[in-house]
Amino acid sequence: MKNNRLVSKRIEGNFNFARCAAAVALLSVSACSGGAEWQSPGEASAEQVADSVNRATLQISQRSAQLNLNSRVPFSRRADRMQASNEALFVSLPSFNRGRVQLGADPSAALVVALPDADVEREAEVTADGTVVFTAGIAATDVAVQASEEGVRIHTVSNSVESPVEFAYEVELPSGGKLDLLENGGVAVLDAQGGLRGGFAPPWALDRANHSVPTHYEVRGASVVQVVQHRDGAVQYPVVADPWLWKDLISSASWASSSQGWTLKVVPTTWARLNAGGYAVGVAGWDELYSKYKNRGLNTNLDGMRDQFICHQQIVAIRSPNKPSWNLDEWRPNVSYLATVNAQCNPGGSSIFD
- Tell me what the mean pLDDT of segment 5-23 comes to: 39
Q: Is the pLDDT of residue 16 over 90?
A: no
Give the model's pLDDT for residue 19: 40
Q: Is the pLDDT of residue 36 over 70?
A: no
Give the model's pLDDT for residue 353: 64
Q: Is the pLDDT of residue 194 over 90?
A: no
Give the model's pLDDT for residue 354: 55
Give the model's pLDDT for residue 5: 37
* DSSP run (H or E) holding 92: strand 89-94
Give the model's pLDDT for residue 128: 96
Please, what is the average pLDDT of the chain?
86
> Any idea which of 9-18, 117-126, 190-199 has the lowest mean pLDDT?
9-18
- Tell me what the mean pLDDT of segment 7-17 comes to: 39
- C-alpha 326/C-alpha 108 separation (Å) is 29
Give the model's pLDDT for residue 82: 97
Evaluate if pTM is beyond 0.85: no
Q: Is the pLDDT of residue 340 over 90?
A: yes
Read off the pLDDT band of 67 (50, 70, 90).
very low
Please provide residue 265's backbone torsions phi and psi, each rounded to the nearest 5 degrees.
Answer: -95, 110
Smallest CA-to-CA distance from 302 within 311, 294, 312 is with 294
CA 99 to each of CA 174, 204, 222: distance values in angstroms, whole numbers, following the listed order: 18, 24, 16
- Tell me what the mean pLDDT of segment 194-210 comes to: 91
Count of residues in the chain: 354
- Tell me what the mean pLDDT of segment 11-16 comes to: 40
- Tell me what the mean pLDDT of segment 97-118 comes to: 95
- C-alpha 102/C-alpha 90 separation (Å) is 8
Give the model's pLDDT for residue 271: 80
Q: What are the sequence ranges of the domains in the chain? A: 17-246, 250-342
% of the chain beyond a pLDDT of 70: 85
- Tell me what the mean pLDDT of segment 195-208 comes to: 90
Smallest CA-to-CA distance from 143 within 244, 43, 209, 241 is with 241
End-to-end CA distance of the chain: 29
Helices (H) and strands (E) in the chain, counts: 7, 22
- Tell me what the mean pLDDT of segment 23-51 comes to: 57
Instruction: Fill in the amino acid letter for 62.
Output: Q
What angle in degrees, to the nearest 10, is found between the helix axes of 302-311 and 279-293?
130
- Taking only the tens place, the pLDDT of each residue in 247-271 is 899 999 999 999 999 999 999 988 8
What's the alpha-carbon Rg for the chain, to the nearest Å? Answer: 21
Residue with more model confidence, 139 or 57: 139
Give the model's pLDDT for residue 18: 40
Q: Is the pLDDT of residue 309 over 60?
A: yes
- C-alpha 51/C-alpha 53 separation (Å) is 5
